[in-house]
Amino acid sequence: MKTLRQNVNIVCVCVGNKYGKDHVNRLYRMVERNCSLPFSFYCISDKQQDCNTIFVKKELDLESYWWKIELFNLDFKDPTLYFDLDVVIHNNIDSFFDKIKDNILTIKGSDIGEFYPYDGRFTILDIPPAVINTSIMGYIPIKTKYIYKKFLRNIDYNIIKYYGLDRFVYEHCDDLDFLNYDEDYYHRSKGYSGQLVNNLNFNPDSKVCILSQCTEKHYEGLEEYFL
């Protein structure tokens, strides 16, 4: 993969066995086709990737989905976009960078469905649905390191209380802004983990497709965008 003069950054996270190099390389190809700005591409990972790799601090010993907290331990001073590895990019994403200020740019949880279940486990722990979803985030990393510091102050407590980065960021971020539903992104599959509804929405005019708790079936019809 080529590294261009750094103007903006694209970052993903690949830790554990849920995703692999193929997913990282696929995201890179989608970004390369849909970002006309000079960019550098990074992956935060526990293993060497085919791109610039930033290795996680294994001593933190986090659950797989909590490793995204390392996004707030970067020293980048340039506008940076984070994408989950299961997103599908349809169209040019340059405009996303124009919306990144001193805040965190992300998406509203309600726009993609409340897919965090109120089963027995969640009821006992009294964990509400997340207000935001961090499948996409835009930010200036050097200005958000305070979020990482807050997490490190009491790691065990934060893991138990917030049950994922979405809730933690919403609680501790000083300023949030949001991308536009339908125009910037849409949600393809609505449903709860383990009870997914096969609602294969398709909006070719949107920039990014968000897949929650995705299965391979939810990629059907989108292959042209990442091959």
In tens, the pLDDT along 108-131 reads 988 876 544 444 444 445 666 788
| Domain-located, residue 2 | no
| Domain-located, residue 1 | no
| Domain-located, residue 47 | yes
The yes-or-no verdict on residue 18 having pLDDT over 60 is yes
Least confident of 80-84, 125-129, 210-214: 125-129
Structure token digits, residue 148:
């990482």
| Domain-located, residue 133 | yes
Domain that holds residue 138: 8-225
**Cβ burial, residue 131 (10 Å; 0-12/13-18/19+):** middle
| Domain-located, residue 44 | yes
- The span from the CA of 203 to the CA of 216, in Å, is 18
Each residue of 31-78: pLDDT tens digit? 999 999 999 999 999 999 999 999 998 888 898 789 999 999 999 999
| Domain-located, residue 3 | no
- The span from the CA of 67 to the CA of 57, in Å, is 9
| Domain-located, residue 113 | yes
What percentage of residues in the chain have a pLDDT greater than 90?
A: 63
| Domain-located, residue 137 | yes
Distances (CA, A) of 162 to 63, 116, 154, 205, 211: 13, 12, 12, 34, 22
Q: Measure CA of the first residue to CA of the last residue in the chain; give whole Å.
A: 16
Global pTM?
Answer: 0.89
Each residue of 154-208: pLDDT tens digit? 999 999 888 889 999 999 999 999 999 999 999 887 554 445 455 678 899 999 9
3-state helix, strand, coil in the chain (%, to 5): 35, 20, 45
Q: How many domains does the chain have?
A: 1
Domain containing residue 101: CATH number? 3.90.550.10
